[in-house]
Amino acid sequence: MDHGAVGLRWPHGCTMDTIDIPAKQSPVINRLHDTLVLARAYADAIRDNAQDDARSIPLELVASFQADCDHIIKALSEAAAQ
């Protein structure tokens, strides 16, 4: 998958090739990365549609997505603390 300029922000000077990732983690990290790139594109499309239609999405929906993002960060933070 071509991530172009939309990809995740890796630490300064790092790429997926220079970060020490265990072989077992590599496929799931790559899949998460690809999924997040798509999620950002979907979020941009939702924003564009709301702007085009001058109609906002429900705040409850935003809160639900925020909870999903919070869960992802919590799980990754726990993995980083091991």
Domain ranges of the chain: 23-80
Q: Are 56 and 50 in contact (CB under 8 A)?
A: yes
pLDDT for the residue 14? 64
pLDDT for the residue 20? 85
CA distances from 78 to 22, 60, 67 (A): 16, 27, 16
pLDDT for the residue 19? 79
**pLDDT, averaged in runs of 10, over the chain (82 residues):** 46 66 93 96 98 98 98 97 92
